Structure 1
Amino acid sequence: MVDLIDRLRGAVFAHALGDALGAPYEFVAKGRDFNVPDLPWIDDLIQFKGAVAPHGPWESPAPRGTGTDDTRYSWNFVDLACSLGRPPSAIDLAKRLLFCWRHPKSVFPSYPHLTREQFSMWEGVCHGILGETSPSFPGIAPSILASRSIGLNYPTIAGMLVLPFMGFFYAGNPEAAYVAAYETAFFDVGYAREATALLAAAQSLAVIGCEPDHVIEQLLNLNPLSLGGFFGKPYVIASLPELLLQAKSFSGIGLAEFLSKKMSHYSVYDPFRAIAIALSVSRAHFDDPWLALQVAVNQWELDRNGNPIRFADIDCYASITGSLLGAFCGSCSLPDNHIEKVSSSNRNIYNIDLRITAKRFIDLVLELSSN
């Protein structure tokens, strides 16, 4: 029997595993990067040897299991929540993201420049929501800054990255999880905010032991903020049923191929794409989480003929999937050797101790649930 503690621990570690599994391959193109005619099937952690960048690993070569900004954001979320003693609000989150940008040495002392670069995309929108002007965007009113997201005028997965475990504070209460995530994701635009809220709602059900089919059924009938209107339901819950029904016919490699083709017209950063992958993969393989993460990470961008040309934003898809999948299966179902590898690598590179992170998060959730 998987208990609440193991499900919470599973979410933290499966998130990190998904991130590390995809990190060496994110946006890697066929032929150019691996000198092979076809993209490989990713099925193991490998060393990162690519170029260091603000949103990727911060060392190259980096040991197997090293994460990207996804893992750094998840640590940041847990650290913020624990410092507050409660789930963060929109204002809490904005202040924290600005702190990371202003004081990078206080966050990741060994990488101040890369830290500032990672968090620089949040500077404008965070100043805006706080009613402040931005040094990076002189002359733009705070009200405009607050509406410009992270500089991309289309829905993205940003909310799922900086609020990776929000739903677990509301175990068994998907409506409350939905509302809290929606309110906190002030920077999300369009249906991204709905997708972020639905991920939190799914987590709130998975962590109490609900199976994926039941979670999906509940999500498709969830709309506590009455989104949508005259022209129909909210975008995500209106679009999910057909895709999830079709995906049910596939598993393993076939499911990876189906999802890549079915959503090839979406941006690689699209939140509908991310939550559809997380739900489809968790339903198909929650009893085999390592295979589930492989399916989540083997997602491709396609040419006009439907042929894979490069991997998509796969570390993000797999980490987002992991944050839900881990709650379904618990850490007891994850490979011990891989848990040890992501633990040691992220501790050595970023001084992020995932075991301590998981314990702090678990202790806070248990404390709040007992009050």
Structure 2
Amino acid sequence: MTTASLESKIRGCVLGAALGDALGGPFEFGPLERVPALTGGDWIDGLYPYERASGPHGVWGLPGGGLPPAGTATDDTRLNWLFLELANRLECMPSARDLATRYLEIYEQPDIVFPGHAAITWKQFEHWEGACRGYLGQTSELYPGLTPDVLLARSLGLNFPVLSGLIAFTWAGLLFPGQPEEAYEASFRADFYDIGYAREAVALLAAAISIAIAEEITPQALYERIVTCDPLHLGGEFSEPFVVGHLPQYYPLVADPQPDQATAWALSVAFRNYPAFDPFRTFAVALLAVLAAEGNPMRSILIAVNHVGINAHGKPVRYEDIDCYGCIAGALAGALSGVEAFPPALLAQVAESNRAVYGLDLEGTIARTIEVFHRGR
């Protein structure tokens, strides 16, 4: 582990998450055969081009037409950027009401963000319209006849815990350096559209990043802090909180050193019965990848993005939601190690590609976050 400044760790967290997103993006839910066709092997090992723009919740094309360049991220980075920009504007952690209001603003005025992408922006935020209306006590034009309480209860229409909050609140812990319980509680409360243990996973990620940016701490010590983190007493008479209660049974997979390819396969086998969008799978794969890689950011991300889906016969059949797994792994590893631990050329490519496609100025957003939340520390 290297000694990194707070500013370096913030930059590492943000840019590492965007890099992990961009490394996994070209292959998420894709066939296994595409990787050897591009890399000559069976291991995703760098930034590769996209075959197509994949839709509102994936990567988008260039505003004037054309495929997104290698290094372009997906909805994970877009949502996280919106979150951090809102926090910068408010100069505090956005509340659930703040977020619901902002998402509806974008749904109703889709040309106010992401220049040149109004139609697909509207389609992306259509996904959140019902839950946002429900939280704000409104009815929905998309779901006529449903009362606000039902709109909120139906969440995003999936009816099982998913990773939506993990990829929209990835950077929430940056607002609470060295305050893991505050980060946990604020993120749990703000995540109005997730259900069940998804909110616990979101809160734990915020707590982990809060710790990582404020301390010189090893991945092992961070893991030990996280598996005892339950400030809202989510456990009860019959069980511990789901995420912290289940993490320890998977720890032996990374307790002893082994090649990264073997770790990626072991994690794929271990989590094969969880849905690809499952928040426990997403958080656990990312955290365990960081543990296995001893905090090395590139190794952490590559273990996470080489995660495959396995059928009932034990055969790998596709890549899973690996841009999301890579995003969380990159955020955690970057928060631990700082931006200097990444290959600078890859970070520069990610920054430029996301500026070209979405108009994002990631470094500018980071600078504003440091100015608003961290000056004087």
Normalising by structure 1, we get a TM-score of 0.95
Give distance in 2, aligned partners of 1:83 and 1:325: 27
Name 2:133's counterpart in structure 1: 127
**What's the counterpart of residue 24 of structure 2?**
22
In structure 1, distance between residues paired with 2:185 and 2:133 = 23
Structure 2 CA distance, aligned partners of 1:103 and 1:88?
20
* Equivalent residue runs for 1:124-163 within 5 Å: 124-163=130-169
Cα drift, residue 29 of structure 1: 1.6
Superposition deviation, residue 151 in structure 1: 0.9
Superposed displacement of residue 261, structure 1: 0.5
Letter of the 2:262 counterpart = G
Query: Is structure 2 residue 196 aligned with structure 1 residue 190?
Result: yes
Distance of 2:33 and 2:303 partners within structure 1: 21
Spell out the pairing of 1:47-66 with structure 2 (5 A cutoff).
Answer: 47-59=49-61, 60-66=66-72
Quote how far apart the aligned CAs of 1:100 are: 1.4
- Give SS of 1:268's match: coil
Aligned pairs for 1:1-371 (under 5 A) are: 1-31=3-33, 40-59=42-61, 60-208=66-214, 209-249=216-256, 250-367=258-375
Range 240-249 or range 122-131, more displaced: 240-249
Cα–Cα, structure 1 residues 363 and 29, in superposed 2: closer, same or farther, change >3 Å?
same
Secondary structure of residue in 2 paired with 1:226? coil
1:123-177 C-alpha deviation (Å, 9 max, x unpaired): 0001000000010011101011111111110011111111111112121121111
Per-residue deviation, 1:30: 3.2
Three-state SS of the structure 1 residue aligned to 2:50 is coil
**1:190-239: per-residue Cα shift (whole Å, max 9, x none)?**
11011111111111111112221111111111111111211111111110
Secondary structure of the structure 2 residue equivalent to 1:301: strand
8 Å contact from structure 1 (residues 194, 236) kept in 2? yes
In the TM superposition, what is the alpha-carbon distance from 1:34 to its structure 2 partner?
7.2
- Partner of 2:317: helix, strand, or coil? strand
User: Over aligned residues, Cα RMSD in angstroms?
Assistant: 1.8
Shift of 1:101: 1.1
The 1:61–1:146 alpha-carbon spacing in structure 2 relative to 1, beyond 3 Å, is same
Q: Write the distance in 2 (CA, Å) between the matches of 1:283 and 1:82.
A: 31
- AA in 2 matched with 1:135: E
CA deviation after TM superposition for structure 1 residue 287, in Å: 4.4
Call closer, same or farther: CA 1:263–1:287 in 2, change over 3 Å.
closer
Question: Which consecutive unaligned segments of at least 5 residues does structure 2 have?
Answer: none
Alignment-mate amino acid for residue 309 of structure 1: V
Q: Which moved more, 1:305-314 or 1:168-177?
A: 168-177
Partner Cα separation in structure 2 for residue 18 and residue 138 of structure 1: 39
Are the counterparts in 2 of residues 52 and 58 from structure 1 also a CA contact under 8 Å?
yes
Counterpart CA distance in 1 for 2:208 and 2:110 is 33
Query: C-alpha distance in 1, partners of 2:218/2:324?
Result: 23
Q: What's the CA shift for 1:39?
A: 8.3
SS of 2:165's partner is helix
Task: Report the CA distance shift for 1:33/1:342 in structure 2 as closer, same or farther (over 3 A).
Answer: closer
CA distances 1:296-327 after superposition (whole Å, capped 9, x unpaired): 10011112121111000000110111111110
Residue 365 of structure 1: how far off its partner (Å): 2.1
Shift of 1:33: 8.9
Give secondary structure in 2 for the equivalent of 1:159. coil
Q: CA deviation at 1:290?
A: 1.1
Question: % of aligned pairs identical?
Answer: 40
Residues 253 and 263, structure 2, Cα contact 8 Å, conserved in 1 = no
Letter in 2 for 1:239: H
What do the CA deviations read for 1:50-93 (whole angstroms, capped 9, x no partner)?
A: 24311122115221101111111111011111111111011001
Q: How many residues align?
A: 368
Contact persistence 1:14–1:326 (CA under 8 A): yes
2:20–2:329 Cα contact (<8 Å) kept: yes
Distance 2:41 2:104 in 1: 38
Q: Residues 35 and 43 of structure 2 are in contact (CA less than 8 Å); yes or no, is this contact kept in structure 1?
A: no
Distance 1:113 1:163 in 2: 24
What TM-score does the superposition give when structure 2 sets the normalisation length?
0.94
Q: Which letter does structure 1 place at the counterpart of 2:317?
A: I
SS of structure 1 residue aligned to 2:312: coil
Which digits, 9 at most, give the CA deviation of each residue in 1:337-361, with x for residues without a partner? 1011001111111110111122122
Indicate conservation of the 8 Å contact 2:53/2:68, yes or no.
no
